[in-house]
Structure 1
Amino acid sequence: MGLARWRWLGMRRFLFLGLVALAFLESGTAASGGWELSGHLALEEEEQCTVDRRANLTYSEFIHQYAFSKPVILQRLTNNSLFQDLCSKEKLLAEFGDFKIRLSTANTFSYQKVDLSFQDYVEQLLQPQDPNSLGNGAGSGVPFHWHGPGYSEVIFGRKRWFLYPPEKTPDFHPNKTTLAWLRNTYPALPITERPLQCTVQAGEVLYFPDRWWHATLNLDTSVFISTFLG
């Protein structure tokens, strides 16, 4: 299963930790929050990011250039050191180890659900992703899908995104992983048929407009918070 969802209660406010994917765990360092940031697969960033990266973007610029037309990666938007502290392995397990979470795939034709504690998820189910099966860890991600506009902020790790505009349906099998698509389908795509893509780093926020197709691939441990707009 490549998707863990749960509701995070407390910390002065209600926060929804939308999608959290944690790669294969080892010793980790203080700078990584105790999570292992090195993927166990030959996962690479794209040769060239084709999504705009913007710092100090004004509200007017955002509305006119991106909000309804194309994705953008926002830099130096906030200081995420607080989230890094809150999302350390030690603190998450201490605070939410007993929380029940539901694992499910994002595949269109997969409906299997697994309910278990967050502690069991971390200690028992995190393994490197196999290209041909759904799992947790480096190489996991969400296959192509679309919904309303949203933001995704990376707290730890790196998350590679693939995006198509609403009018351009991607060539993908809805019951196969993003890793399998990247290895088997993507290389054969003509340049003009390839998606916008970029790897979002820790501290960056990706915004995508309404109904944009998107798929994700976790290159190593990826802890991130997603906010979906109604």
Structure 2
Amino acid sequence: MAAAARLLPLLLLPLGWVRPGACTDPPGGGWLAGAVPEEPRCTVERADASLTYSLFLQRFAFSRPVILGGVTDNSAFRALCTREKLLAAFGPFPVRLSTANTYSYRKVDVPFQEYVEHLLKPQDPGRLGSGSGSGVPFHWHGPGFSEVIFGRKRWFLYAPDQTPHFHPNETTLAWLQHTYPTLPPAQRPLECTLRPGEVLYFPDRWWHATLNLDTSVFISTFLG
């Protein structure tokens, strides 16, 4: 657990880096479900365990996102990412909250317990934060994978040559409410809601923004 503790200050929103273990999950891991409406439409291609490595390289690795289902067993992570387990293991440790925005890097350090008990709550469109309604505004970096452990996370993605129209200090929820409805169909992003056990892969330099429909625990892995 010491290795996980050293990584905890890298936390961005509810993200737990922990070692495998086993216990019985409370419903939803003890995290709160949200009231943000879910868009049932999904325009990101899906694949399952039948996707071979060579086909992944050919179809997705360098060209477009894909959602992978049934390819991982995250039960060990789920066991240690419940609200009770994370508070017991990391309560006094500092965590760093950040917009994780390409253009705006405000960072705040708080104890993990204070974060969970006082800051983790539904957000309004006008402020960056955590919990239901929070998210990361549009930004880009190298390729990566993101897996949801608890909750639901909505993703919006644009190819590198399609710079989205957004304000760097505007929340994703505000963008969804104010800008998204004005976009012609041809200018709308690829989008989908990720649920527990699903993994999203996005290629290098793809623009992406996220919106937590619930209090979400997720793991992101960025490739060099």
TM-score (norm 1): 0.86
Q: 1:164: which partner in 2?
A: 158
1:67-216 map, 5 Å: 67-216=61-210
Segments of 5+ residues of structure 2 without an aligned counterpart are: 16-24
Preserved CA contact (<8 Å) 1:156 1:223: yes
Instruction: Supply the RMSD in Å over aligned alpha carbons.
Output: 2.2
Question: Partner amino acid for 1:53?
Answer: R
Map Cα deviations across residues 122-157 of structure 1 (whole Å, 9 max, x no partner): 111112111011222100000000000000000001
Q: Which residue, out of 21, 28, 43, partners 1:50? A: 43
Query: C-alpha displacement at 1:113, in angstroms?
Result: 2.2
- How far is the alpha carbon of 1:99 from its aligned partner? 1.2
Counterpart amino acid of residue 174 in structure 1: P
Q: Return the alpha-carbon distance in structure 2 between the equivalents of residues 166 and 92 of structure 1.
A: 36
For residues 180 and 15 of structure 1, do their structure 2 counterparts lie closer, same or farther at Cα, with a shift above 3 Å needed? closer
Say whether residues 1:33 and 2:29 are aligned partners.
yes
Could you list the per-position Cα deviations for residues 165-194 of structure 1 after superposition, in whole angstroms to 9, with x for gaps in the alignment?
Answer: 000000111110000000000001000000
Q: TM-score, normalised by structure 2?
A: 0.88
The CA deviation at 1:111 is 3.6
What SS does the aligned partner of 1:179 have?
A: helix
Aligned twin of 1:26: none
Q: CA separation in 2, counterparts of 1:127 and 1:202?
A: 20
How many residues align structurally? 213
Alpha-carbon shift at residue 109 of structure 1 (Å): 4.7
Match of 2:14 in 1: 21
Structure with more of its chain in helix, by fraction: 2
Rounded to whole Å, the distance in 2 between the matches of 1:15 and 1:119 is 12
For the residue of structure 2 that corresponds to 1:33, the secondary structure is: helix
For 2:10 and 2:54, locate their aligned partners in 1 and report how far apart those are by CA, in whole Å: 28
Give the aligned residue type for 1:143. Answer: P
Cα 1:157–1:103 change in 2 (3 A) is: same
2:219 to 212, 225, 228: 225
Distance 1:208 1:108 in 2: 16
Q: Is the 8 A contact 1:8 1:15 kept in 2?
A: no
